[in-house]
């Protein structure tokens, strides 16, 4: 236990999973799989570095449950046993040097699949250019310049639900501690939620209850397939930032429905569904959405949104705006951000023994259990 008054560095439990502090490394797409969805040496280096950071939990990037569910050709997958073997080998090496809980974000990109990697423009790839046909709740394109995706029929819904289940079982077999379902950023499950992308007239479209139906069916199926003692949560976009789209009050209703089904946490982001979105980016700009959902539901909540300073993260959890704070891009810029946050807040953090001598003068007893002797 830390001996400071920092709330950020107090333990927290998601169901039966214990986290040493309230810092969560949020998923960050790396676009570095081998083309068949398999993890590579890049993932060993990347995840290994983050797993030595002292954060409370690491969530592995959006991982596709089927080949057509990838954002790009180079996205990580968990649709095959070969995918599981490659990722499992990476995680075995990471665990040899870190006890950090490891989660994974399972995803299907829907109409935002078949894209070029960001450093090649990130635009939709046509079939002629090496892309593949996209599926979605409705035949509604992401933008006017893109062709419409194919609306999923009943068999397609079953196929995708079962793909999530199969990926969850593979995740369990390779020892993943926690699953986060990706229901945010304009990808498939978010597309079902939003009336801007879901114009179906069957039981999966129209009313809020109907638009929530498929994401809830996926949650129920994954929850049943994943070991009961390991948590399952969901990431959502609390608003589309577009008039007439998905919004905070609908997000509260969705979170309440998830809670009733045994959802262990909700990870609150915003946007990504429409190029018409309008919002102003500022430090902590998404935190009020997490605060509202937490207050309305009592669910364990992860807040994100340009959280870059230790004092900022401390305030979020100390004030009860969220239970945990998600950090992502700042972790790529500063992979030891939790160390530096602990030093600022007078707390302790886990670090590998090989690094115990790295604490600067004046940082105090920064690393938990550190004992240094030299001659």
Q: How many residues does the chain have?
A: 375
Is 187 one of the catalytic residues? yes
* Positive/negative CA dihedral, 32, 35, 41, 43: positive
Q: How far apart are CA 189 and CA 27, in angstroms?
A: 17
Residues 6+ apart with CB under 8 A from 114: 68, 70, 124, 125, 131, 132, 133, 134
Catalytic member of 31, 187, 333, 355:
187
Cα-based distances in Å from 39 to 83, 91, 98, 334, 350? 7, 10, 19, 23, 26
Active-site residues, by number, are 187
């Amino acid at each position: 236990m830390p001996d400071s008054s920092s709330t950020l560095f107090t333990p927290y439990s998601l169901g039966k999973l214990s986290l040493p502090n309230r810092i969560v490394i949020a998923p960050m797409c790396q676009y570095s799989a081998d083309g068949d969805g398999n993890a590579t040496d890049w993932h060993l280096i990347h995840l290994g570095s983050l797993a030595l950071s002292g954060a409370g939990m690491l969530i592995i990037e959006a991982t596709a449950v089927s080949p057509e569910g990838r954002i790009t050709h180079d996205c990580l997958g968990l649709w095959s046993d070969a995918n599981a073997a490659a990722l499992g080998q990476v995680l075995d090496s990471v665990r040899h040097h870190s006890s950090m809980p490891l989660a994974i974000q399972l995803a299907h990109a829907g109409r935002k699949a078949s894209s070029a990697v960001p450093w090649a423009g990130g635009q939709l790839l046509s079939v002629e250019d090496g892309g593949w046909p996209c599926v979605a709740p409705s035949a509604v394109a992401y933008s006017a310049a893109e062709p419409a995706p194919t609306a999923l029929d009943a068999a397609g819904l079953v196929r995708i639900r079962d793909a999530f289940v199969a990926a969850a079982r593979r995740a369990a077999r390779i020892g993943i501690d926690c699953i986060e379902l990706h229901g945010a950023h304009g990808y498939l499950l978010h597309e079902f939620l939003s009336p801007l992308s879901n114009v179906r007239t069957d039981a999966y479209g129209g009313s809020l209850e109907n638009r929530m139906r498929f994401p809830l069916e996926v949650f129920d199926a994954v929850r049943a397939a994943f070991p009961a003692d390991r948590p399952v949560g969901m990431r959502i976009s609390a608003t589309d930032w577009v008039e007439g789209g998905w919004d905070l009050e609908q997000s509260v209703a969705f979170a309440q429905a998830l809670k009733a089904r045994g959802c262990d946490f909700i990870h609150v982001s915003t946007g990504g569904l429409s190029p018409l979105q309008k919002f102003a980016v500022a430090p902590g700009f998404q935190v009020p959405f997490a605060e509202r959902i937490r207050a309305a539901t009592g669910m364990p909540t992860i807040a994100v949104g340009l959280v870059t300073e230790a004092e900022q993260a401390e305030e979020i959890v100390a004030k009860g705006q969220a239970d945990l704070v998600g950090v992502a891009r700042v972790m790529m810029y500063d992979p030891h951000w939790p160390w530096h946050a602990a030093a600022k807040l007078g707390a302790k953090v886990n670090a590998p023994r090989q690094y115990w001598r790295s604490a600067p003068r004046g940082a105090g007893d920064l690393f938990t259990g550190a004992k240094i002797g030299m001659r």
